[in-house]
Each structure stands twice: as C-alpha cells, then as structure tokens.
C-alpha cells in the first residue's frame, strides 16, 4: 500500500481486473491440467521431455506473474494505466 492512491481506480476498471483475474485462474487451471496430462503421457511413454515440460510450465509461470500483478492492482487500487506502467517497470521495480 501507499505507492498509489486508492481513489484512482474506477469501478469499471476494478470489474475488468476481477474478470481478467478469473480468466487467468481458469487459464491456469487448464494449463496445469494440460501439464499434468502431458506428464502422464510422457510417463506412459517411458521418458520425460523436459523441454516440452519446461515450455508448458513457463506458460503457467507467466500466467502466475500476470495474476500477481492484477491482484496487486486490485489490492492497491491501481488504475489500468498505473498497472500498465507497473507491468512495464516504470516504477523502477518492475513487475514481480
């Protein structure tokens, strides 16, 4: 808290963020399920292709980072513009 004022965020922005967060949750679950299924298939084939697993896991990690950012925007009441600046690392710290 304290980096940005809470008053900047409009209700529409908040709803948009919440919707996006839900979408990201769904996407994360789906990707994790796909990752698990891929692992099961590899196990039945007898060898694990770490490159493919890493690619899929990197997708999930990306979704996690984005979801963290959106959650932070909701917690701190950031506007979409501030969130974009944060995502671009305009505050010097960069997104988590």
Partner 1 sequence: MRKGALKKKQRQLEDLLLDRREALGELVLGMYVQNAWDDDLLARGAAEVAEVENELSELIAGNEPEGPSTTEKDFPVTGEYRLPTGEHAYPTTGEYTAEHAVPATGEYTAEHSLPGSAEHTAEYTAEHELPDAPDEEPKLSRAEKKAAKKAEKERKRKEKEEAEVPPAEPATPPAASAPAAPAPAPKPAAPAPAAKTPEAPAAPAETAKDPAKKPIAVPPPPAPPAPEPTDPLDILEKQITDSEARAKTAMEAAKASTNADAKTELTAITREVESSRSLLDQSLEKAAAAIAAAEEKASRAEAKLVRETAAGREAAAEWVRGQAAEIEADAALAAEMTGEPGAAPTAPGEPDPVLSARVASLEAELAAEKASKEEALTMAAARLKEIEQAAKLAEARVEAAEAAATEAQNQAKETAAPAGGSGSATEAEAREAAVNWLRGQISALRQEIAKGDESGKETGGN
Q: Do 4 and 71 form a contact (C-beta atoms < 8 A)?
A: no
Shortest distance (Å) from residue 77 CB to partner 1: 16
Nearest distance from C-beta of residue 31 to partner 1, angstroms: 7
Residue with tokens 């980072």: 65
> With binding defined as CB under 8 A, does residue 27 bind partner 1?
no
Backbone region of residue 79 per phi and psi (left: phi > 0; alpha: psi in -120 to 50; beta: other values):
beta
Binders in 30-59 for partner 1, by CB under 8 A = 31-37, 39-40, 42-44, 48, 50, 53-54, 56-58
Residues that bind partner 1 (CB under 8 A): 25, 28-29, 31-37, 39-40, 42-44, 48, 50, 53-54, 56-58, 60-61, 64, 67-68, 71, 96
């Amino acid at each position: 808290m304290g980096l940005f004022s809470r008053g900047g965020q409009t209700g529409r922005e908040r709803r948009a963020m919440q919707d996006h967060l839900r979408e990201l949750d769904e996407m994360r679950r789906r990707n994790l399920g796909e990752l698990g299924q891929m692992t099961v298939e590899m196990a039945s084939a007898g060898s694990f292709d770490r490159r493919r697993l890493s690619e899929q896991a990197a997708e999930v990690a990306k979704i996690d980072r984005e979801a963290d950012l959106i959650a932070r925007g909701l917690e701190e009441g950031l506007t979409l513009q501030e969130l974009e600046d944060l995502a671009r690392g305009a505050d010097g710290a960069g997104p988590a």
